[in-house]
Structure 1
């Protein structure tokens, strides 16, 4: 038995376990309580430290990294660090992203003796931040020499298995203490399904799908998080069944897949999709989580007999199946259902963004911009959207192999800049395109300096329209509270890194934009597109108008003349 045990310093063991879980980079800020672990990371020379400009953007970066890598992690210092990062960790919880937030915390000696320390509330209670993280993480622990082996493994495995963030407090005086640890590496694996429950579940689902005349599949983001997109497409192929996604799951199903029909959002669905989903006599919904922005303001109406499949359970009729995993269920069902050679076609996929005949030398508008972006996309791109008129990305048809990264459920502006840093770090070989407005960009613009520092080469497409145009559709069409300071955005790469080779462009016309899009992407490209503050795609504006009705009710100020930006009938509607 002794041969299976070795002695390691606790900090080295944590770093080893993170590496065994596939984490090659750690994001965050140094602070006196986490410097012991940072020194161990530096001495080991394996995992790379990516210092960010703030804890909030570190949490966004860990989120973006996890979406391409499977797991992400950040390291902050006690109190001020976790509270700054909690918004991003909360977003990871809402979006089902496995992030490990590690807080180098006050010495265990100080906790045992009740000693007052900086970066605390100075009230003798050392559990405030553990408690603060309980609502936004699936598991939390303070590491000690006694629990280190058990809790480090538990937190990492829980984050990976549940696809949710966890929180770990790591006292600064334990990193260099030796403990006994297992020699065996950490294995990321799902517990196997209960054999009887799996057999019964597969048989019940297969029976329903096989008997259906119009089966269909509806996909939410967990299809990506739990890696079952390929199984869903195999099942759709075998059944000749249509597949739709909600907007948060954009790109999870290859949009060139023959059975992909588009996005479902109730009455706001793409043409034909609503009927396809709502009239299905056997709808298989994958981890469907309805909120107003994914359901067309609650206009979605799934069939009453919908099969609801989640990561580790499934509902079919009155029966609930536990101790089963989504991937095993789908593989079993694929094997069990008979192959359908032909099925009457349903209304399928909406057309891609239409081209426009707008004069390229005229003032740049949203109507010219988005068809140009559509033409710019290519297979394998990683695409980022932030809250604002950049939601128009949802109306584009993505080429095969693209990945969509956004904060649809959580909706935290500025998320995409930090996520861009993280995902670039995870997959620098892919082309990354950030689509963002000036308001969102100003929240986290400083992280551009870290992107430049590491010589990453994303394409940053920024719309400069003087503020929060999406909010103008809710309320305050011309009110100053929706304005932001007008920066010289295209100059920022040079300001943040004077020796940069980045190419910057200011696009005031369609011709300017096209010139920028034609530039070689052998370095960072930054495109500032100047547009009118009240120019917004009709679908975005309509969504904001409806959102105001939900948010403010019938007595709200949105009904006053001129307080809302409204869609013009001449606007394109894609």
Structure 2
């Protein structure tokens, strides 16, 4: 607690200024009576902009995409009904290692102390049920107190930054204006790795690399989360070491780089990349996660005595101990050690296949033709967002042009994520025009966020794959089952109602129509462009078919 002579600021302002220091310029969420005083205080902090979302789930998805680009996002909801509505989004951020600070406006401390039966509760006088739920999907949780409020804010924000995972902060309504010590703001939040741990990791690494002649870097999504793409690229170039990229890190490094050796998902996606990893005598895991899908159903090379494993907060070599070293520091150590040993210059990677060109005829559009036309059109310097299902597995097969961001959710796989993610990506990275690929089933879950996207001034290209159902589920099992169908919608009418006059709509059914619509969309920078694409209900892109085959084999 500050003394009477200590300069103070209201707690809401303190939180807002900590967010600004971490690169946050937008607040996502939905107002509710328990967070209104907090929101009034945050509104006084210059540099923070409130972003309207129709519901908390969409706000959570938008915050997730924002945090991927900015390194932190703030999601503000009310107690109970609001925080539970976005729990799925926060869980996705946890699974995908995305630092979203979930700030919940909660009942006043006086009401909690008396056990008052309040709305948005179970009317039983118990107030910690929802923070317990949040504890399952967040790396740190605090319910603020009068005595330690500023210290608690700092601890939770720092935890999100260090671990690149969600954290939970409950702000009682009567504490939002609490005076707290302003002097703490002069010291930015930062965590330092101990020099002894760095030295121990460096020694273990040097021992492994001393006789390594065929090292390879396996680039995972944490490279992107920590903003380390440039450092990893420079390290690979300095040491002449090839790299393969996990599907979860697609777009993190230039796919046309001379040292890029393909996509690594075990043997499912790219056999050449799998062979390179298998033959390596030093495999460096840079923030990877090997789930069933990302590992090609566990056909990857498991970590062994010749593996370096780097996570957000630890670094380990072979069977040795995990040293408490932050990923940024571990990459610096690796960059110093890798070039020390002369190795043969790797042969240039074989050209990776891209969707084959198609004739722009008048026949019905197939998945193969669709992605081939997209490949020919996709401009550099954009942000590609692909929703779970057909869209992700089609877009994953694209060869991205230079300076292209890719946003997907291959670990959590929540259908409907990518449309609200356009809002977060677009606000976090306004120089890139978002290009969204989403299915009709996914869009039916979160289409209302088109209104928020348009209101924010964003003008993405939205490519809606209308195949009348959940094609990924059809590919996996029971393709003709009625539960895989969705109700047909008037997409043009719905989008027009949500977006208004800023909408341009194209309905396409052939490759020629698609190519023309994409060309027009590239030139139409002043509109939100919706391209509605008619596709066969049972057609699927090659990678989705491969996924379905592996899934069936595993189940069998």
The aligned counterpart of 1:424 is 426
The aligned counterpart of 1:465 is 467
Match of 1:27, SS state, is strand
Shift of 1:256: 1.9
Aligned length: 550
Pairwise CA RMSD? 2.1
Shift of 1:293: 0.4
The aligned counterpart of 1:403 is 405
Q: Please point out which of 538, 548, 551 is paired with 1:547.
A: 551
CA offset digits 1:414-445 (Å, max 9, x no partner): 01111111111112221111111111111111
The aligned counterpart of 1:525 is 529
Match of 2:349, SS state, is coil
2:517 is the counterpart of 1:516: yes
Shift of 1:303: 6.0
- Which stretch of the first structure deviates more once superposed, 448-457 or 540-549? 540-549
Contact 1:457/1:521 (<8 A) preserved: no
Paired residues for 1:264-303 under 5 Å: 264-302=264-302
The aligned counterpart of 1:563 is none
CA offset digits 1:61-110 (Å, max 9, x no partner): 11011011111011111100111110000000000000011111111111
The aligned counterpart of 1:137 is 138
Match of 1:274, SS state, is helix
TM-score of the pair, normalised by structure 1: 0.91
Contact 2:214/2:343 (<8 A) preserved: no
Match of 1:266, SS state, is coil
Q: Please point out which of 381, 394, 400 is paired with 1:392.
A: 394
Shift of 1:146: 1.5
Shift of 1:207: 4.0
The aligned counterpart of 2:119 is 118
Change (3 A) 1:342 1:181: closer
> Counterparts of 2:339 and 2:530 in 1: how far apart (Å)?
51
The aligned counterpart of 1:205 is 205
Paired residues for 1:375-390 under 5 Å: 375-390=376-391
Shift of 1:542: 3.0
Q: Please point out which of 532, 541, 545 is paired with 1:537.
A: 541
Change (3 A) 1:533 1:17: same
2:437 is the counterpart of 1:435: yes
Shift of 1:299: 1.3
Shift of 1:210: 4.2
> Counterparts of 2:4 and 2:347 in 1: how far apart (Å)?
62
Contact 1:238/1:340 (<8 A) preserved: no
Contact 2:210/2:341 (<8 A) preserved: no
- Which stretch of the first structure deviates more once superposed, 393-402 or 82-91? 393-402
Contact 1:105/1:172 (<8 A) preserved: yes
CA offset digits 1:505-543 (Å, max 9, x no partner): 001111111111111131211111001101112331231
2:480 is the counterpart of 1:478: yes
Contact 1:143/1:171 (<8 A) preserved: yes
Shift of 1:3: 11
Match of 2:33, SS state, is coil
Match of 1:123, SS state, is coil
The aligned counterpart of 2:414 is 412
Change (3 A) 1:6 1:223: same
Contact 1:470/1:541 (<8 A) preserved: no
The aligned counterpart of 1:451 is 453
CA offset digits 1:367-408 (Å, max 9, x no partner): 111011112222221111111111211111112221111111
- Which stretch of the first structure deviates more once superposed, 169-178 or 386-395? 169-178
Shift of 1:342: 6.4
Shift of 1:203: 3.4
Shift of 1:346: 5.1
2:367 is the counterpart of 1:366: yes
Gaps spanning 5+ residues in structure 1: where?
555-574
Shift of 1:339: 5.9
Match of 1:319, SS state, is coil
Shift of 1:158: 0.8
Shift of 1:24: 0.9
> Counterparts of 2:166 and 2:236 in 1: how far apart (Å)?
31
Shift of 1:248: 0.8
Shift of 1:493: 2.7
Change (3 A) 1:333 1:29: closer
> Counterparts of 1:341 and 1:258 in 2: how far apart (Å)?
19
TM-score of the pair, normalised by structure 2: 0.94
Contact 2:96/2:409 (<8 A) preserved: yes
The aligned counterpart of 2:37 is 36
Match of 2:321, SS state, is strand
> Counterparts of 1:14 and 1:290 in 2: how far apart (Å)?
36
Shift of 1:409: 0.4
Match of 1:407, SS state, is coil
Match of 1:12, SS state, is helix
> Counterparts of 2:171 and 2:238 in 1: how far apart (Å)?
50
Change (3 A) 1:222 1:106: same
Contact 1:31/1:77 (<8 A) preserved: yes
Contact 2:451/2:498 (<8 A) preserved: yes
> Counterparts of 1:186 and 1:545 in 2: how far apart (Å)?
54
Match of 1:294, SS state, is coil
Match of 2:362, SS state, is coil
> Counterparts of 1:461 and 1:210 in 2: how far apart (Å)?
50
Paired residues for 1:231-310 under 5 Å: 231-302=231-302, 304-305=304-305, 306-310=307-311
> Counterparts of 1:494 and 1:108 in 2: how far apart (Å)?
45
CA offset digits 1:245-269 (Å, max 9, x no partner): 1111111222122111111111213
- Which stretch of the first structure deviates more once superposed, 124-133 or 217-226? 217-226
CA offset digits 1:157-189 (Å, max 9, x no partner): 110111000111111122223333325335142
Match of 2:185, SS state, is coil
Shift of 1:501: 2.2
Contact 1:9/1:175 (<8 A) preserved: yes
